[in-house]
Amino acid sequence: MPYVSIRVAGELTKEQKQKISKGVTDVISEVANKPKEAILIFIDENSRENIAKGGVLMEDM
């Protein structure tokens, strides 16, 4: 059973999550020849204050 973990800075709308989930599921199903029902997707939304790039919190960029 394939699973995908997607981490984003900030929040996504429900519609964005649905589109991402469908697109990723379709690609994995096609390329890896896996049934769509077997693919799990986890979307983790992270506050920009908890992510740093180049030593600077993304919240401050």
Q: Which residues pair with 45 in a beta bridge?
A: 8
Residue 34 pLDDT: 97
**Other residues' Cβ atoms within 10 Å of the Cβ of residue 8:** 15
The predicted model scores a pTM of: 0.86
Residue 2 falls in the annotated catalytic set: yes
DSSP assignment of 21-48: HHHHHHHHHHHHT--GGG-EEEEEEE-G
Pick the catalytic residue: 2, 4, 8, 20? 2
Domains and CATH numbers, the chain: 3-60 (3.30.429.10)
What is the model's pLDDT at position 35?
Answer: 98
Q: What is the spatial distance between Cα 41 and Cα 17, in angstroms, rounded to a whole number?
A: 10
Instruction: Say which residue the tokens 């600077």 belong to.
Output: 56
Question: What are the tens digits of pLDDT across the range 8-47?
Answer: 999 999 999 999 999 999 999 999 999 999 999 999 999 9
